[in-house]
Structures are given as structure tokens and as C-alpha cells.
Amino acid sequence: MVVAAAAGAFVWLQRTEPPWWARLWYPLRYAEIVRGHAAHYRLNPALLAAVIESESKFDATARSSAGAVGLMQLTPTTAEGIAQYTGGHGFRVSDLTNPEINVRYGAWYLRHLLDKYHDERTALAAYNAGQQNVDRWLQAHEAIQFPETRAYVDRVERLKSIYRRTYGPQLGLTG
């Protein structure tokens, strides 16, 4: 009976996600960096935090099997291109474990995708699956073709709501 009650309470908390519960499961680290780059690149800071949570769970040293690095899981090739485009000099892969640099590059890239696609869900799909895949899907008038990318987009959108509700004041969001 105790196990059933605990399981029921856990499920209820997962669904209702009061702020104290959300803080346990979805911490916010680097709030100043997130807030600053969100403002600079005209991004919703809750969206930026949600992408970071989805990509790395706010682990600045995270590395993927595909070679992506850091908070926003940028590949060295993508990051080097962003560095060159934005006037960066002497790019090194180790730069990607620096939260300031990683979030700056990731925020720039996310803004680029939002400007290109004019739709948040499409931009998030491109962030996850790559622009070539998304361009091909759009040209063929198809929805997102990768189940993992659909799940990624849904997760980021859900996390954006959680971060807005839970950390709004820390992210500079009002009302």
C-alpha cells in the first residue's frame, strides 16, 4: 500500500510539476549566461534553457557519440563555422567546454535557424536533425521524418514551458 501511494504521488508530481519539484528534476545553471545571450540574440531565455537541458542537462563537459560538445552540443565543424562567421579567431575544440563560448555559439545558431525557418518547431528540428534533412522534408512537403527528432522538438517545447514557469524571474521573464 505504501509503495502504491508513493508511486501515485510520484506520478502526480510528474504531471503537475510544482516549481519545487521541477527544480529538482530540471535545474538551471549558468542563468546569467543564458539570460545574456538570449537577450543579445533575441531568444526566449526559457527556450534557450530548454535546449541546453535537452542537449546536455547543463553539463558543460558533455560529449556525444557524434562528436558534439558542451552545453548546447555543438559539433566542432559547426562551431568553427560560427566562430569564423561571427569574427572569432583561433577556434579550438576545447572552447566548446567553456559555457560562455558554447552558449554564445549555440544561441547564434538557434537565432540563425529561427530566422531561416520562421517557425520554432522547424528550427528545433533543424537544430537536432540538421538543416539538410529539414530542407529536404520541407521541399517534399513532409513532416519531421525522424521519430527521435519529433520527440526532441516536443521535449524542448515542454521544457520551455517548465523553465518559464519555474525560473521566469531568474531568466528575466515577467508575468
Q: Which residues are catalytic?
A: 55
Supply the DSSP symbol for 63.
B
Phi-psi group of 64: left, alpha or beta (phi > 0 → left; psi -120 to 50 → alpha; rest → beta): beta
Farthest CA pair distance, the chain: 62
Total Cβ atoms within 10 A of residue 1: 5
Residue 98 burial (10 A CB sphere; 0-12, 13-18, 19+): middle
Question: What cell was used for 110?
Answer: 538557434
